[in-house]
Amino acid sequence: MNSPLRIALAGLGTVGGGVVKLLDENRDLIARRAGRPIEIVAISARDRSRDRGVDLSRFEWVDDTSSLAERDDVDVVVELIGGSDGPAVALVRSAIASGKAVVTANKAMIAHHGLELAGAAERAGTALKYEAAVAGGIPIIKAIREGAAANRIDRVYGILNGTCNYILTEMEENGAAFADVLAEAQRLGYAEADPTFDIDGIDAAHKLAILASLAFGSEIDFASVLTSGIRAVAATDIAHAAELGFRVRLVGLAEVVGDRIHQRVHACLVPLTNPLAKVSGSLNAVVAEGNFVGRLFFEGRGAGEGPTASAVVADLIDIARGEAGPAFSMPSEHLEPIGAGEAGDRRGRYYLRLSVADETGVLAELTATLRDAGVSIDSLIQRGQAESGGVFIAIVSHETSESAVREAIEAMRASGSVLGEPMLMHILDF
Ligand SMILES: NC(=O)C1=CN([C@@H]2O[C@H](COP(=O)(O)OP(=O)(O)OC[C@H]3O[C@@H](n4cnc5c(N)ncnc54)[C@H](O)[C@@H]3O)[C@@H](O)[C@H]2O)C=CC1
Ligand SMILES: N[C@@H](CC=O)C(=O)O
Ligand code: NA
């Protein structure tokens, strides 16, 4: 057997603890597959005394996490602290500068600094790997970067946040309250340290920006992702969606349109016939469309200890085998800066939920406003009592432009016929 790959673990929370357990349980199998053992040399986290359900006394504990980057007895620094800036990125920068390989699960850091870090790793002749950062256990980085590398990819999309998918599923299937399910997602280790990153769509936007770069060969452009989350999704939307033949899902979608890239994360209505509608709980799914391979669909656990550890250790096995290569789908200097498209350009079907006064003539006024804006109605239902005292109207449009629907909403607001905040969602029709 060859000499071991020596690793230092920074961060021993959900993912770090999972990595220790996986390396213990599958130790011999991994050594055979990698051609050499993978051994933890040193560990570091904020709180030494915390019980992580695994014996850590056999490893050297280091109080100063940043010192892991300098050690001569470490080949790979595994960064599992999190955060787009601060100690995680400082550790990764200095590990790369010392010629060490880096494995990370930190999508926030890759979305913000991926290009810089990839360039630094290339110059240092070392590896930067981050399979766990996108869609947890689904090997989607490997699939796009290697398996589909021969294709031009113009669209990549999917369900990229396990916490939101778990919340939406529990709300739909069990009528659970948003706050209760979020607390459970935190207990299960799915949520980010700050769960607003999950529910406001930021975590999914980090992942989408990384996927778009890999798929399109473009520089990561996190700042251009139009991002909204699931806070505004009400139980009534989920019920309306079911009645109309849809499920509500938080979808990240990136596509090339002409010479522009559109990137959006938002709650969508997904037709029940679409495989994404069947993705439930903490599962994630990613669809990539290649010009030769066609449509690829990947599904698996996007969050939690086991699936995320699986992705981290897969990266370590690649490094142990000497199979690392560039961090993105090409050397970072070949990634192109591609501009972002305009939001109002999108054409498609829309779901619009309004609360309106329960009075004669209001419905006729609404439909006339939509008609005047060039929006024609596919289906309309009136259901339930709104908190504002009015009734809920849910409308599904035929294909139209987003700007037309927004124009109609503004006209309805101006006329005073709409009570409360309207809810607009795209319908995912591919
Ligand atoms: N939990 C999940 O399902 C997934 C998490 N990730 C990512 O993995 C990373 C880690 O996530 P979790 O394990 O869930 O987080 P966690 O909060 O459970 O663990 C974080 C660990 O980092 C340590 N830490 C925090 N600040 C530190 C500092 N200044 N110096 C040294 N150690 C410090 C903490 O003591 C803790 O051991 C994050 O980047 C997260 O986005 C990625 C995919 C899935
Ligand atoms: N908080 C994230 C964890 C994995 O990336 C999620 O819920 O998907
Ligand atoms: Na992954």
Task: Please report, in tens digits, the pLDDT of each residue of the chain (430 residues total).
Answer: 689 999 999 999 999 999 999 999 999 999 999 999 999 999 999 999 999 899 999 999 999 999 999 999 999 999 999 999 999 999 999 999 999 999 999 999 999 999 999 999 999 999 999 999 999 999 999 999 999 999 999 999 999 999 999 999 999 999 999 999 999 999 999 999 999 999 999 999 999 999 999 999 999 999 999 999 999 999 999 999 999 999 999 999 999 999 999 999 999 999 999 999 999 999 999 999 999 999 999 999 999 999 999 999 999 999 999 988 899 999 999 999 999 987 766 889 999 999 998 888 889 999 999 999 999 999 999 877 766 678 999 999 999 999 999 999 999 988 888 888 899 999 999 9
Torsion of CA 185, 136, 200, 87, to 10 degrees: 100
Q: What residues have CB less than 8 Å from 33, skipping those under 6 apart?
A: 317
Angstrom distance (rounded) from CA 351 to CA 330: 39
Angstrom distance (rounded) from CA 254 to CA 197: 19
Between the two ends of the chain, the Cα-to-Cα distance in Å is 49
Q: What is the DSSP letter of 146?
A: I
| Binding site membership of 136 for ligand 1 (Cβ less than 6 Å) | yes
- As given in the structure block, the two tokens for residue 4 are 């071991």
Q: In what order do the strands lie in the sheet with 101-104?
A: 60-61, 38-44, 5-10, 76-79, 101-104, 128-129
Q: What residues have CB less than 8 Å from 297, skipping those under 6 apart?
A: 275, 285, 286, 287
Angstrom distance (rounded) from CA 135 to CA 355: 36
Instruction: Return the pLDDT at 230.
Output: 98
Provide the annotated binding site for NADP(+): 10-17
Angstrom distance (rounded) from CA 54 to CA 71: 24
Cα of 79 to ligand 1 centre, how many Å?
8
Cα of 190 to ligand 2 centre, how many Å?
5
Superfamily designation of domain 153-299+336-343:
Dihydrodipicolinate Reductase; domain 2 (3.30.360.10)
- Atom 23 (ligand 1) nearest CA: 11
How far lies 171's CA from each of 180, 231, 235, 283, 342, in Å?
10, 12, 7, 15, 33
* Count of C-beta atoms within a 10 Å radius of residue 276: 21
Sign of the CA dihedral running 27, 28, 29, 30: positive
| Binding site membership of 335 for ligand 1 (Cβ less than 6 Å) | no
User: Which CATH number applies to 345-427?
Assistant: 3.30.70.260
**Alpha carbon 127 to chain centroid distance?**
23
Give me the catalytic one of 21, 100, 129, 207: 207
Torsion of CA 132, 198, 15, 7, to 10 degrees: 50
How far lies 23's CA from each of 26, 350, 408, in Å?
6, 47, 57
Q: Phi and psi (nearest 5°) for 154?
A: -110, -10
- As given in the structure block, the two tokens for residue 260 are 């522009």
Instruction: Return the pLDDT at 366.
Output: 94
| Binding site membership of 18 for ligand 1 (Cβ less than 6 Å) | no
Angstrom distance (rounded) from CA 251 to CA 269: 9
Instruction: Return the pLDDT at 390.
Output: 86
Instruction: Return the pLDDT at 217.
Output: 97
Global pTM exceeds 0.95: yes
Instruction: Return the pLDDT at 420.
Output: 86
> 100 an active-site residue?
no
Cα of 34 to ligand 1 centre, how many Å?
26
Provide the annotated binding site for NADPH: 107
Q: Which atom of ligand 1 is nearest to the CA of 16?
A: 13
Q: What residues have CB less than 8 Å from 109, skipping those under 6 apart?
A: 79, 83, 84, 85, 88, 89, 92, 117
Provide the annotated binding site for L-homoserine: 192
User: Is the CB of residue 311 less than 8 Å from the CB of residue 132?
Assistant: yes
Instruction: Return the pLDDT at 94.
Output: 98
Q: Which atom of ligand 1 is nearest to the CA of 87?
A: 29
Give the 3-state secondary structure percentages of the chain, helix then strand then coil, rounded to 5: 40, 25, 35
Q: Which of 12, 14, 130, 166 to mutate to test the pocket of ligand 1 (most atoms within 8 A of CB)?
A: 14
Instruction: Return the pLDDT at 144.
Output: 98
Q: Phi and psi (nearest 5°) for 218?
A: -105, 160
* Count of C-beta atoms within a 10 Å radius of residue 386: 20
Element (H, E) at 145: none
User: Is the CB of residue 349 less than 8 Å from the CB of residue 396?
Assistant: yes
| Binding site membership of 302 for ligand 1 (Cβ less than 6 Å) | no
Instruction: Return the pLDDT at 344.
Output: 66
Q: Which of 80, 192, 282 to mutate to test the pocket of ligand 2 (most atoms within 8 A of CB)?
A: 192
Domain ranges, ordered by start, for the chain: 153-299+336-343, 345-427
Amino acid at 115: L
| Binding site membership of 189 for ligand 1 (Cβ less than 6 Å) | yes
- As given in the structure block, the two tokens for residue 329 are 């789908």
What's the residue count for the chain? 430
